[in-house]
A = this chain, B = another copy of it.
Amino acid sequence: MRNRLRYCAGVAVTIRDVAQAAGVHVSTVSRTFTAPQQVNEDTRNRVIEVARELGYRPNRAARSLTTGRTNNIGLIVADLANPFFSSIIKAAQAHARERDYHVFVADTDEDPAVEEELVQAFTKQVDGVILCSPRITNRVITRLAKDVPFVVVNRRLRGYATILMDVAQGSRLAIEHLRELGHRKIAVASGPSGSWTSAEMVAAARAVKGIEVETVGPNTPTEQGGIAAAAEVARSGVTAVLAHNDLLAIGLIEGLTELGLDVPGDMSVVGVDDSLLGRLNRPKLTTVTMPTAAAGRLAVDLLLQSVTAATTLETSLVIRESTAPPKGHP
């Protein structure tokens, strides 16, 4: 074992250095890593050993220049701090890493203009983009899709790879649950305008017989948004409200409480996401679960296999403490 150990600080170890040290041509080193079966076992082992000693790491920029692939995936969400998105991100990231891909995450701050800009910035830097609950229009997505492959989560878009969470199903369960409790008039507090999820929720709620549905919104899907919407919900004469997500639901509860209303005594509240927040909140939130981890993993798979498929994932209802029979109900 010769002492060839030298982690030269700052000086990059290139494929050439390895080739020289191992006494082979650069192409052999290259193939050792990209097509190992083409290289003689002894040679391969020697190259690997030398590379390890020298601390060689392939330069991905150079690699992508020739292969045209970057081994990076872009992931765009409206708000990194929203547990709904962070759960998708975590799953996507772990899944991508197993496939030797990295994930660029970007946060649009709920701004469609920023969203479009970010997609453009990602083009050529990533092999594909996962767009979660987009705020931009389908028209814009279609245009952008010319430049980079897409997977869209929670937006219906014909002819593209999409992953939908069957929020209609979960919403239906939620509304039926409320109906069984005795509620007859409820509100749907929707999310940002253009949200497919919100539209689905409203449609699903309207489809349930024996229930009158008001809509309140659009709202910013944050705690603040919920607080702001509380007054309108209180005013609307409903006894229960289905919120676009857990954050909004929690804000609603906060706002309603400040208005002197008790949840669930005076008003039942149902969220969507099943996030940690909902579990921690008091009262614990009744909520529609969203298969975020599955969606994250699936999005990566669809992107890497470049399959154009429309997948729908199941949702369900978790009944906790924020729903109860309306006042004066037996």
Contact = CB atoms under 8 A, between A and B. Distances in A.
Interface of A: 2, 5-10, 12, 55, 57-62, 64-65, 67-70, 80-81, 83, 86-87, 89-90, 93-94, 97, 102-107, 109, 120-121, 123-125, 127-128, 146-149, 223, 250, 254, 276-277, 280-282, 306
Contact of A277 (B10, B62, B106, B280): B280
Contacts of A109: 94
| 3 smallest beta-carbon distances between A and B, as pairs | A282-B282, A5-B68, A61-B64
A7 B146 CA distance: 8
Given A276-B81, A277-B280, A9 B146 contact: yes
Contacts of A59: 65, 124
A5 B69 contact: yes
Contacts of A124: 12, 57-61
23 contacts: A7-B127, A7-B148, A60-B61, A60-B124, A61-B61, A61-B64, A61-B124, A61-B125, A65-B65, A80-B86, A80-B89, A80-B90, A81-B83, A81-B276, A86-B86, A89-B107, A94-B109, A97-B106, A102-B104, A104-B105, A105-B105, A223-B276, A250-B280
A31 to B, nearest CB: 18
Given A7-B147, A80-B86, 14 more contacts: A2-B68, A5-B68, A7-B306, A55-B147, A61-B124, A61-B125, A80-B80, A80-B89, A80-B90, A81-B90, A86-B86, A102-B121, A223-B280, A254-B280
